[in-house]
Structure 1
Amino acid sequence: MPANKKHLTASPWQRFAKITAGLIGGYLVSMSLHMALTTWTDSTTVIITSAFTGFILWATLMVVAFIAKNGWKIWGVFILLTAVFSTIMYLGTLYNPLV
């Protein structure tokens, strides 16, 4: 049974934005979150569990990117989240240099 045309993205740029946001943006968000966690908690535990939780979070963010109406807005959200987690990671290395 083919998909209903009214639910498909008509613009190739929106389709490109959703695909790249799901693949690249979701990966950046999930890895920056786990790297931020390693600077504030026990890094060995986070690294071991990130093999599973990183994939689950990446797959979830990929689905979120395809559900969104606008691919460029979801790119903005993913970039904002990556920047927030990167700031947390920077502050973690600044205040906890030996963790």
Structure 2
Amino acid sequence: MPANKKHLTKSKSQRFAKISAGMLGGYMVTESLHIALAFWVNHLVVLMTLRFGGFILWVGLLILAFLAKNGWKVWGLYLLLTLFSCLMIYLGKIYNPII
């Protein structure tokens, strides 16, 4: 039985935005968040958490991208979260020069 047309994405650009935001954007957010956490807490614990929690977070962000109406807004949100995590990485390097 085919899917109901009202639930399908109407344009190809929205479909591309959702797929790429879910796959690439979700991965970027997951990795940058865990790297930022590694600078602020014990990095060995964060690396062990990344093995399982990272995959769960990435899948959650992937699903979230498909639930949104606009894929480009999801890309914007994921890029902002990644940039915030990068700022935390930068500040972690300044305040913890040992790592």
Aligned residues: 99
Alignment partner of 2:9: what SS? coil
Q: Which residue of 1 aligns with 2:8?
A: 8
Structure 2: how far apart are the matches of 1:75 and 1:34? Answer: 19
CA shift digits 1:8-49 (9 cap, x unpaired)? 001000000000000000000000000000000000110011
Q: Runs of 4 or more off by more than 6 Å in structure 1?
A: none
Q: Which residue of 1 aligns with 2:92?
A: 92
- 1:58 matched to 2:52? The reply is no
Q: Which residue of 1 aligns with 2:29?
A: 29
RMSD: 0.7
Instruction: State the percentage of identical aligned residues.
Output: 57
- 1:68 matched to 2:54? The reply is no
TM-score calculated relative to the size of structure 2? 0.97
- 1:49 matched to 2:56? The reply is no
List alignment gaps of at least 5 residues for structure 1. none
The offset of 1:94, in angstroms, is 0.7
Structure 1: how far apart are the matches of 2:88 and 2:60? Answer: 22
The offset of 1:65, in angstroms, is 0.2
List alignment gaps of at least 5 residues for structure 2. none
Structure 1: how far apart are the matches of 2:32 and 2:86? Answer: 6
Q: Which amino acid aligns with 2:18?
A: K
The offset of 1:3, in angstroms, is 1.3
Alignment partner of 1:9: what SS? coil
Structure 2: how far apart are the matches of 1:35 and 1:49? Answer: 11
